[in-house]
Amino acid sequence: MTRFFAVAPLGVAASLFLTTALCAEQWIQIEAQPSLTQATEAARGYAGELPNVVGFNLPGRWHAIALGPYETEAEAEAARRALRAQGRIPGDSYLTDGSGFRDAFWPVGVNVSTLAPVEAQQAIEAPTEQVIDAAITPVELDETPAQARASERQLDRPAREALQRALHFAGVYNSGIDGAFGPGTRRAMSEWQAMQGYEATGVLTSRQRSEVLKAYQDVIDSLDLTPVVDEVAGVSITLPAGMVEFAEYSPPFAKYTAKDGSEAQVLLISQTGDEATLGGLYEIMQTLEIVPMDGPRSRDKNSFSLTGTNTRITSHTEARLVNGTVKGWTLIWPTGDEKRHQMALEAMQASFAPTEGVLPDAYGDGAAQDIDLMAGLDIRRPEKAGSGFYVDDKGTVLTDAELVASCAKITLDETYDATVAASADGMALLTPTEPLAPLAVARFDSHLPRLQSEVSVSGFAYEGRLGAPTLNYGLMAEHKGLSGEEDLLRLAMTALPGEAGGPVLNSAGAVIGMLAPGSAVVPEGRSLPEDVAFAYDMEKLAGFLSQNGVAMAASDGNTSEADLVSIGRDMTVLVSCWN
């Protein structure tokens, strides 16, 4: 008989198909495959050995095989170490909170939200000396520390530097890439070994070095970082050719779109211009859907950078002036794929270089012509937009409270940021983040117009698509609401939702009320004729403004029709709600 050590099987109590709806805290990602066929085969293989295998699609074309969910990180880490020690999962398996996972493809038809967390693992039997039939092949042992040091001494400098890069990619090494295995590299090796469930000796065995390098090389291979010289755009840069491919020229961009469903994109920026052109591009880029609102921005007279992140994408843009041209690039990457994103970003930053050539103002048939597009790219539009009007010379704006409720960002005329200073009774007061100098400020008249006399509303009926407010004419129908409300005015006019929050003017151009949204005054489930609208009256406006420290200016007399249009245009402001 031959004696050797064996490890007793790990007992893990779990049920993959319990219907208790519990949230997944932690998963053990054990593998990722570039095709669904390969991933399904891998998941099926693991499922034959382990009870809690789930396959997930990842952003792009990759697919993950994971174990879980586990309620706590500690439970997941204990299971990972035990399974790794038994050789039942790869050594580079790691913990994740699952934020990068998308829909599940394995088991077929599984509803992840109904998966019960894996129960705390049962006691793991310590390795015991057993007599095992000699016909059973023992697990192959790796190098001893002495053998590991001996094999490490055979590495040349490029091989040592490659290992440091791989450790940096693994997130455990942050020192210089110099090929010298000093204390920093040794600590990184120990940390990596501990993360993978190995004994932390600070010296990687040949097998462990292969694991570190393979994890790094797999990502390199999937990105296929390739130097590209775009002679038409006049840009030389390294691009992730495994993720994007050239699509078209649409000045000022050369567009490289997603390849094989990767969801990544690259724009090369190229146009003739000066400092003003650079500044204009800086502003325009921030209106595009591909540049999310949240993220740092920086600009000087010769360059700018923009970073934006949301739940779907991360975007980074850099551009600068070069000999009478503006050259740069934008990288758009799906969230949840941070390691590959960082590698692609660093490669582009390090390699970008302007060359001869610049895109003309038009190329080929040009981009699709659409008010919601710029060079074929979607322009970001606010979630909702409507009207407001200036009530003092600092730029304070009175508007409809519904319009600015639950907004991540509020802008005036799509340019100036503002915040809600007060909100009550259907009205909201907005304060710009920096003082403004309005062309006109509302002047109020407390006298109500005669019934059937002409009134008008100044507002953005089409929510800013016309670029300026319009004047909508109607008649004063009643000095109260349909149910006798004393703070409402009933108007005989057809009003659009975008006009809500706009000033109601009398024939002298004085403000006598604010147009109210129909939803604020009409009971739910009821509809009114098209030519019926309502406004909050002067007394209601005066009480709200007074409570919030706004002094109201009085009207000073009659005005002409032409002046009425001018007054309405100059005091009315487009209010936009962004989310």
> What gap in Å lies between CA 266 and CA 151, rounded to an integer?
42
Eight-class DSSP state of 348: H
For the chain, give the mean pLDDT: 83
> What gap in Å lies between CA 397 and CA 394, rounded to an integer?
9
Tokens of 39: 């991933």
What pLDDT does 560 receive? 62
> Is residue 467 over pLDDT 80?
no
Task: With respect to residue 98, please indicate whether it lies within any of the assigned structural domains.
Answer: yes
3-class SS of residue 305:
strand
CB 525 within 8 A of CB 459: no
Tokens of 554: 């009085």
Cα dihedral 361, 351, 174, 177 in deg (nearest 10): 180
> Is residue 127 over pLDDT 90?
no
For the entire predicted model, the pTM comes to 0.52
Same domain, 340 and 389: no
What pLDDT does 188 receive? 93
Same domain, 446 and 575: yes
Q: Which three-class secondary structure string do you get for 446-509?
A: CCCCCCCCEEEEEECCCCCCCCCCEEEEEEEEECCCCCCCCCEEEEECCCCHHHCCCEEECCCC
Q: pLDDT tens for residues 491-512?
A: 999 999 899 999 999 988 899 9
Q: Provide the pairing of β-strand 2-6 with 128-132.
A: antiparallel
Eight-class DSSP state of 155: -
Residue 105 amino acid letter: F
Task: With respect to residue 135, please indicate whether it lies within any of the assigned structural domains.
Answer: no
Tell me the β-bridge partners of 334.
313
DSSP character string of 532-560: EEEEEEHHHHHHHHHHTTPPPEEP-S---
CB 332 within 8 A of CB 268: no
DSSP character string of 265-284: EEEEEEEE--HHHHHHHHHH
> What gap in Å lies between CA 15 and CA 12, rounded to an integer?
10
> Is residue 365 over pLDDT 70?
no
- Where does the pLDDT of residue 380 fall: very low under 50, low under 70, confident under 90, or very high at 90 and above? low
Those residues whose C-beta lies under 8 Å from the C-beta of residue 337, and which sit 6 or more positions away, are 58, 59, 60, 100
Task: With respect to residue 138, please indicate whether it lies within any of the assigned structural domains.
Answer: no
Tokens of 80: 């990972």
How large is the average pLDDT for residues 453-474?
87
- Where does the pLDDT of residue 128 fall: very low under 50, low under 70, confident under 90, or very high at 90 and above? very low
Residue 326 amino acid letter: V
What pLDDT does 125 receive? 35
CB 256 within 8 A of CB 245: yes
- Where does the pLDDT of residue 466 fall: very low under 50, low under 70, confident under 90, or very high at 90 and above? confident
Burial 163-197 (b: 16+ CB within 10 A, else e): bbbbbbbbebbeeeeebebeebbeebbbbbbebbb
> Is residue 52 over pLDDT 90?
no
How large is the average pLDDT for residues 486-490?
92
- Where does the pLDDT of residue 465 fall: very low under 50, low under 70, confident under 90, or very high at 90 and above? confident
Q: pLDDT tens for residues 389-426?
A: 999 999 999 999 999 998 888 999 888 999 999 999 99
- Where does the pLDDT of residue 146 fall: very low under 50, low under 70, confident under 90, or very high at 90 and above? confident
Same domain, 254 and 210: no
> Is residue 438 over pLDDT 70?
yes
> What gap in Å lies between CA 74 and CA 92, rounded to an integer?
18
What pLDDT does 562 receive? 62
Same domain, 153 and 274: no
Task: With respect to residue 136, please indicate whether it lies within any of the assigned structural domains.
Answer: no
Q: How many CA atoms lie within 13 A of 342 on its CB side?
A: 9
Task: With respect to residue 315, please indicate whether it lies within any of the assigned structural domains.
Answer: yes
> Is residue 374 over pLDDT 60?
no
Residue after which a domain boundary falls, among 163, 190, 223: 223
Same domain, 402 and 523: yes
Same domain, 62 and 154: no
What CATH number does the domain containing 435 carry? 2.40.10.120
Q: Which helix (H) or strand (E) holds 308?
A: strand 303-309
Tokens of 551: 């002094």
Same domain, 78 and 33: yes
> What gap in Å lies between CA 151 and CA 560, rounded to an integer?
94
Residue after which a domain boundary falls, among 163, 188, 223: 223
Angle at the Cα of 189 from the Cα atoms of 185 and 191, rounded to 5 degrees: 115
- Where does the pLDDT of residue 366 fall: very low under 50, low under 70, confident under 90, or very high at 90 and above? very low
> Is residue 160 over pLDDT 50?
yes
Residue after which a domain boundary falls, among 191, 208, 223: 223
What pLDDT does 362 receive? 58
Same domain, 106 and 26: yes
> What gap in Å lies between CA 134 and CA 3, rounded to an integer?
8
What pLDDT does 556 receive? 74
What end-to-end distance do the CA atoms of the chain give, in Å?
A: 72
Angle at the Cα of 337 from the Cα atoms of 332 and 343, rounded to 5 degrees: 75
Same domain, 407 and 528: yes
> Is residue 326 over pLDDT 50?
yes
> Is residue 126 over pLDDT 50?
no
Q: Provide the pairing of β-strand 553-554 with 443-444.
A: parallel
Same domain, 397 and 437: yes
Q: pLDDT tens for residues 218-227?
A: 888 889 999 9
How large is the average pLDDT for residues 117-124?
55
Same domain, 526 and 386: yes
Residue with the bigger pLDDT between 364 and 532: it is: 532
> Is residue 1 over pLDDT 80?
no
CB 209 within 8 A of CB 259: no
How large is the average pLDDT for residues 432-444?
91
* Residue 211 phi, psi dihedral angles, 5° rounding: -65, -45
Q: pLDDT tens for residues 235-278?
A: 999 999 999 999 999 888 999 999 988 999 999 999 999 998 89
Task: With respect to residue 140, please indicate whether it lies within any of the assigned structural domains.
Answer: no
Q: Which three-class secondary structure string do you get for 205-239?
A: CHHHHHHHHHHHHHHHHHHCEEEEEECCCCEEEEE
In the chain, what percentage of residues exceed pLDDT 90? 44
Category of 263 on φ-ψ map: left (φ > 0), alpha (ψ -120 to 50) or beta: left
Same domain, 502 and 553: yes
> Is residue 446 over pLDDT 50?
yes
> What gap in Å lies between CA 80 and CA 241, rounded to an integer?
34
Range of the domain at 12: 2-130
How large is the average pLDDT for residues 49-66?
84
> What gap in Å lies between CA 394 and CA 438, rounded to an integer?
8
> What gap in Å lies between CA 101 and CA 103, rounded to an integer?
7
CB 14 within 8 A of CB 51: yes
Q: pLDDT tens for residues 278-316?
A: 988 888 888 888 888 888 999 999 999 999 998 889 999
Number of domain units in the chain: 4
Task: With respect to residue 249, please indicate whether it lies within any of the assigned structural domains.
Answer: yes
Task: With respect to residue 356, please indicate whether it lies within any of the assigned structural domains.
Answer: yes
Burial 354-386 (b: 16+ CB within 10 A, else e): bbeebbeeebeeebeeeeeebbebeeebbebbb
